[in-house]
Amino acid sequence: MLIAIPDVLDAAALARVRGMIDAADWIDGNATSGEQSALAKRNEQLPEDSAAAREAGGAVLDALARSALFVAAALPLKVFPPLFNRYAGGQAFGTHVDNAIRIRRGSDFRIRADLSATLFLAEPDSYDGGELVVEDVFGEQRVKLPAGHMVLYPASSLHRVEPVTRGTRVASFFWIQSMVRDDGARRILFDLDRATQAVATDKGQGDPTTVQLTGVYHNLLRRWADA
């Protein structure tokens, strides 16, 4: 399931995050790469233990907590502290699959990476190339969203970042361990949640149909969730 989540960061929050990270010192992006990714990855990254990364990452986490669409789509159990990267001058990230387990350096924090997230921090007309290309059963999905918007996609999918040939692509990226491991089950729950909210808007929260659909949602979540 690939889902775009608009306006995770509003204009003010985006400006604050960019102010934090733009003035920081960046390093080679392979600092967090697995063996396979290191062969394909050419970009820069903020050190994950830097003050700028921690402060900007906290702002992203606060924004995610306020996003009902993110919570409904991801059903998050754990979120890896957001990281930040940038691409320029032909840099790219070739086709790869994200590591199944992500461990925060220097800590015992680890997650199973069910979902990957890219939060775009530069406007799409400020750089050429840089599309996130995700391969799924329907073919290649090419994603290049406005600044402040985010895309969620299965961490198990093949994906890449196309070369950036003009300007600079700046983004936050991270992984989510969902309460519901199976992508198909998450999709059913997401569709059911959206349908239930539509019925509630039309008929009211106390309508018997709304109550019944809400019960079905929570009983499926109870059956599938690992929390």
Q: Which of 96, 89, 75 is nearest to 186 (CA)?
A: 75
Q: Dihedral of CA 115/72/137/159: which sign? A: negative
115: how many CB neighbours lie within 10 A of its CB? 25
169 is in an annotated binding site: yes
| In contact, 37 and 154? CB cutoff 8 Å | no
96 is in an annotated binding site: yes
Q: Which of 141, 102, 198, 89 is nearest to 217 (CA)?
A: 198
- Tokens representing 105 are 């350096």
| Residue 78 β-bridge partners | 177
| In contact, 89 and 164? CB cutoff 8 Å | yes
Q: Detail the residues annotated as belonging to a binding site for 2-oxoglutarate.
A: 169
Q: Detail the residues annotated as belonging to a binding site.
A: 96, 98, 159, 169
Q: Detail the residues annotated as belonging to a binding site for Fe cation.
A: 96, 98, 159
